[in-house]
Structure 1
Amino acid sequence: RISVCSLSSGSEPPSSPQVVEEGADEEDEELSGAEDADLRASSGRGSLLTRRGITLRVLLKDGLVEPGDGILSIHYLGKTFVGDLLNDGKIRWVETGQIFNSPSAWATHCKRLVNPAKKSGCGWASVRYRGQKLVQYKTTWLHKYQPSADMSLISEGEDDEMGDDDEEEGKTTMLVEDKNKNVPKYSCVCLDRDPHTLVELSAFSAINRFQPFNVAVSSNVLLLMDFHCHLTTSEVVGYLGGRWDTNTQLLTVLRAFPCRTRLADKDAAPAVEEEICQNLFMRGLSLVGWYHSHPRGPALPSLQDIDSQMDHQLRLQGSSNGFQPCLGIICGPYYHGNQGVASTITPFWVVPPPEQRPNDYGIPVAVEVTYVQDNFLTTDVLNEMMLLVEFYRSAPDLVQFSQMWSPNTSILDKIKVCYNFSSSYIHKQTKHNIHFHDLQLTCSLR
């Protein structure tokens, strides 16, 4: 599959440092200076500290770590975050200048930018000081100052770092066969499957999550995408352009950009992608997703599709380290298991795998989408349809529209039914019309 364009929407850093306390685990919150002093005065060096007592301030005070710029880091699902360790034990995120009171607060904030479903950050096992996990410095502190201490007194050990949410995710990352269907569901780990194995989508509610963003898709996008997928018996791919509003958490898909190339044609792919990138830039749009077809199969993601979607989601994060969703859409135009003659359209997203098992497949989930009817069919869409017709006109895998789709319906009639949803406003609002002819499709202006 051709790679996605490296585009992202930037975000301005805050004008002044902000102290962020979100996501701190109860046992991982930093003690105040007074609490720290009281604790040491009452317990002494020889007494055992509580789980909350072993903090970055303690490690700094006893010389196990030193303050410095860029010496803290988090690596999560292909993204790297860098932080400064301040003299008071707080963390300053280099990207934005935000101040965090604890490792878990910083880790939770960063991980939620990549994976909004993340509940906690597992800070002490996620944050590294000069390349080594902070939790190892806690262990060193205990061995040095409290050698008789039970290792469970470490505020967050390796075992604790899994967290309830990761255990929950771990239970839903394995494939098993549904007895009533040939499509497997996610409920257990299976990494040795055929990459073309189709996977049934989960609902966000089924994995105890909320959909982290809203999606609105233009009817023109649906029309062009479905048209592209109907033209050929081979799999096609294209990109989606639109806008992401961080305030309303709304992803608006405004344009489809079909790739007029063969999936195996690696030589032509860069030029096609460059053209799409320029079209996005000229229209002031961002890359917000991709689509592809399963011409004669169910509109469900394969294991390969899940990997591709996860890769696209990570690429769209860009350099801003801000969350931006990437929508995947699968179109199944000629699957006889579809209800009626219309294509099955499946918007989906992938919940990342647990960080303890980064090589696992993510969990594909169905995305609820609102389809917005456009007032007119744009010239851009019509031009794109004509270019697609020219591209496939002489191809050996061009659909033969005179053939029968069912005993009483030809493929041409099937396609007409698919576009009935748009005819009511296309004919009323514009002078453009789509004419379907036997054996080939042409788009013309009245």
Structure 2
Amino acid sequence: PSGSEPPSSPQVVEEGGDEEDEELSGGEDAELRTSAGRGSVLTRRGITLRVLLKDGLVEPGDGVLSIHYLGKNFVGDLLTDGKIRWVETGQIFNSPSAWATHCKRLVNPAKKSGCGWASVRYRGEKLVQYKTSWLRKYQPTADMVREKNSTVKTSRTRTKQAGLLTSTLKNCFELTRLRGDRERIPVRYCTLGTRDVARDPHTLVELSAFSAINRFQPFNVAVSSNVLLLMDFHCHLTTSEVVGYLGGRWDTTTQLLTVLRAFPCRTRLADREAAPVVEEEICQNLFMRGLSLVGWYHSHPRGPALPSLQDIDSQMDHQLRLQGSSNGFQPCLGIICGPYYHGNQGVASTITPFWVVPPPEQRPNDYGIPVAVEVTYVQDNFLTTDVLNEMMLLVEFYRAAPDLVNFSQMWSPDTSILDKIKVLLRMTHHPNSTCSVRVHGGPDH
């Protein structure tokens, strides 16, 4: 209860003696801002105790957290879900800031905030140091990057991107295995509330608009029609969920993300051990073409092209991992393709570009908010040799697969699946037509 007396022993004075020493020092703040690239928004809101637990930088345990403030000592347990339990009263707090603010106000009622990451210690070290370690691991600082030559920098970037590919492929395999073909009814984000381990991770969530959460889309996106064609073609070949990656460029001056290439993963459930080889090939292709990894796509073969709770968490992880360092903030685009959902209009697939906004700081254990991303589609004048070659490799890869689509089956009373694909290919890339895919929540393109 808020009226209880704070513990009085042992009396340990914080190093320096003043409450100002508990606040984030200028050096640490600058380091965090440099590492995050975007300032403190994603640093404060995106990196939570749950993230540190998930990536193994800290472990749950009894009495591993502590606060020393104006001669008072507070001890807390770190729970497996990232929450904090105050040992003295058993109260549960959602974040270091919430716990620090509560404890400090017991000692000093005039205290306005707790500065939790600088005040709370994990096994004797300030939590902010663990946050800095996370940023160094996944978002190298500008100085660290400059210290390395171009070969080492390329290797580091490729390693980070390969790690992203690994996690996405693993998630995709699990989703395909568990999801099946059962009908899933999308829910509104506002009905989700706090995370619940009993909730089905494959629950689909409707997209919000940036305007609905009082935000502006923080970047512009242009996608090549060749990307759409290859992505849509890949998703049409198999009844299983597929995954692929998006290569492109990020212009910090115009805040424009240009998606220039799709890189399908030629993998199936039966050959998940081959994933490292596929990932290395994609990394090599990206760097040979001077492109960066700017996003990923996957399919919901027979369901709505909306993100699941698992997709939302995966997208949030990707956004954090792909944050820029010396180049500043870089977005990561997620795309879902729904090729065989009978709720689609006509033969067109539904294509859903989305992004995830972190939950409010005061509700760190909520799911991220999936929002629709407005995209400009750029019509290419011709198919490149790379795209044609990739299409042939995909056909060869799935030719003898047990999950190959039966193209002779009827999609509608007067259209076979093969006819459906032919129409899509013709409409998607005919120089005098517009793209045939349907963007979720928007008009036909």
Q: TM-score range by the shorter chain?
A: 0.5 to 0.7
Contact 1:23 1:109 in 2 (8 A): no
SS at match of 1:334: coil
Q: Residues 11-22 of structure 1: matches in 2 within 5 Å?
A: none
Deviations 1:19-69 (A, max 9, x none): 999999999999999999999999999999999999999999999999999
Runs of 5+ unmatched residues, structure 2: 153-196, 424-433, 439-445
Contact 2:243 2:298 in 1 (8 A): yes
Instruction: Return the offset for 1:391.
Output: 0.3
Alignment of 1:272 onto 2:278? yes
**For residues 25 and 119 of structure 1, do their structure 2 counterparts lie closer, same or farther at Cα, with a shift above 3 Å needed?**
farther
Deviations 1:361-384 (A, max 9, x none): 111000000000112110000000
**For residues 356 and 182 of structure 1, do their structure 2 counterparts lie closer, same or farther at Cα, with a shift above 3 Å needed?**
farther
TM-score (norm 1): 0.53
Deviations 1:390-444 (A, max 9, x none): 0000111111111110111111111122xxxxxxxxxxxxxxxxxxxxxxxx999
**For residues 305 and 281 of structure 1, do their structure 2 counterparts lie closer, same or farther at Cα, with a shift above 3 Å needed?**
same
* Distance in structure 2 (CA, Å) of the matches to 1:49 and 1:290: 20
SS at match of 2:247: strand
Instruction: Return the offset for 1:349.
Output: 0.4
Contact 2:208 2:371 in 1 (8 A): yes
Cα RMSD between the aligned structures?
Answer: 18.5
Instruction: Return the offset for 1:266.
Output: 3.1
Deviations 1:317-367 (A, max 9, x none): 265583110000000000000011100000000111234544431110000
**For residues 177 and 250 of structure 1, do their structure 2 counterparts lie closer, same or farther at Cα, with a shift above 3 Å needed?**
closer
Contact 2:64 2:123 in 1 (8 A): yes
Contact 2:34 2:141 in 1 (8 A): no
Instruction: Return the offset for 1:139.
Output: 25
Instruction: Return the offset for 1:86.
Output: 35
* Distance in structure 2 (CA, Å) of the matches to 1:147 and 1:259: 27
* Distance in structure 1 (CA, Å) of the matches to 2:364 and 2:343: 35
* Distance in structure 1 (CA, Å) of the matches to 2:335 and 2:9: 40
**For residues 367 and 129 of structure 1, do their structure 2 counterparts lie closer, same or farther at Cα, with a shift above 3 Å needed?**
same
SS at match of 2:272: coil
**For residues 193 and 26 of structure 1, do their structure 2 counterparts lie closer, same or farther at Cα, with a shift above 3 Å needed?**
same
Q: Residues 53-132 of structure 1: matches in 2 within 5 Å?
A: none
SS at match of 1:264: helix
Deviates more, 1:235-244 or 1:319-328: 319-328
Instruction: Return the offset for 1:240.
Output: 0.2
Contact 1:253 1:288 in 2 (8 A): yes
Deviations 1:238-292 (A, max 9, x none): 0000001111111000000000001564311111011100100000000000000
Deviations 1:114-149 (A, max 9, x none): 999999997997899997889999999999999999
Contact 1:241 1:257 in 2 (8 A): yes
SS at match of 2:234: helix
Q: Residues 266-345 of structure 1: matches in 2 within 5 Å?
A: 266-317=272-323, 320=326, 322-345=328-351
* Distance in structure 2 (CA, Å) of the matches to 1:142 and 1:287: 19
**For residues 71 and 225 of structure 1, do their structure 2 counterparts lie closer, same or farther at Cα, with a shift above 3 Å needed?**
same
SS at match of 1:443: coil
SS at match of 1:83: strand
**For residues 403 and 115 of structure 1, do their structure 2 counterparts lie closer, same or farther at Cα, with a shift above 3 Å needed?**
farther
Contact 1:240 1:288 in 2 (8 A): yes
Contact 2:323 2:330 in 1 (8 A): yes
SS at match of 1:289: strand
* Distance in structure 1 (CA, Å) of the matches to 2:34 and 2:389: 77
**For residues 210 and 104 of structure 1, do their structure 2 counterparts lie closer, same or farther at Cα, with a shift above 3 Å needed?**
farther
* Distance in structure 1 (CA, Å) of the matches to 2:255 and 2:140: 50
**For residues 109 and 246 of structure 1, do their structure 2 counterparts lie closer, same or farther at Cα, with a shift above 3 Å needed?**
farther
SS at match of 1:317: coil
Determine which structure has more spread, i.e. the larger CA radius of gyration: 1
Deviates more, 1:28-37 or 1:346-355: 28-37
Contact 1:347 1:368 in 2 (8 A): yes
SS at match of 2:136: helix
* Aligned equivalent of 2:437, options 439, 442, 445: 445
* Distance in structure 1 (CA, Å) of the matches to 2:18 and 2:26: 19
* Distance in structure 1 (CA, Å) of the matches to 2:409 and 2:338: 18
Deviations 1:90-126 (A, max 9, x none): 9999999999999999999999999999999979978
Contact 2:66 2:120 in 1 (8 A): yes
* Distance in structure 1 (CA, Å) of the matches to 2:266 and 2:37: 72
Contact 2:334 2:355 in 1 (8 A): yes
**For residues 274 and 143 of structure 1, do their structure 2 counterparts lie closer, same or farther at Cα, with a shift above 3 Å needed?**
closer
SS at match of 1:292: strand
**For residues 150 and 234 of structure 1, do their structure 2 counterparts lie closer, same or farther at Cα, with a shift above 3 Å needed?**
closer
**For residues 204 and 34 of structure 1, do their structure 2 counterparts lie closer, same or farther at Cα, with a shift above 3 Å needed?**
closer
**For residues 358 and 320 of structure 1, do their structure 2 counterparts lie closer, same or farther at Cα, with a shift above 3 Å needed?**
farther
* Distance in structure 1 (CA, Å) of the matches to 2:39 and 2:322: 51
Alignment of 1:403 onto 2:396? no
Deviates more, 1:142-151 or 1:226-235: 142-151
SS at match of 2:271: coil
* Distance in structure 2 (CA, Å) of the matches to 1:59 and 1:129: 12
Instruction: Return the offset for 1:192.
Output: 3.1
Deviations 1:163-213 (A, max 9, x none): xxxxxxxxxxxxx99999999xxxxxxx53101111100011111111010
SS at match of 1:229: helix
Q: Which runs of 4+ in 1 moved over 6 A?
A: 9-151, 176-183, 442-446
Contact 2:222 2:378 in 1 (8 A): yes
Contact 1:45 1:145 in 2 (8 A): no
SS at match of 2:282: helix
* Distance in structure 2 (CA, Å) of the matches to 1:48 and 1:232: 40
Paired residues in the alignment total 383
**For residues 115 and 280 of structure 1, do their structure 2 counterparts lie closer, same or farther at Cα, with a shift above 3 Å needed?**
farther
**For residues 144 and 405 of structure 1, do their structure 2 counterparts lie closer, same or farther at Cα, with a shift above 3 Å needed?**
closer
**For residues 373 and 26 of structure 1, do their structure 2 counterparts lie closer, same or farther at Cα, with a shift above 3 Å needed?**
farther
Instruction: Return the offset for 1:80.
Output: 25
Contact 1:107 1:121 in 2 (8 A): yes
SS at match of 2:395: helix
Instruction: Return the offset for 1:386.
Output: 0.4
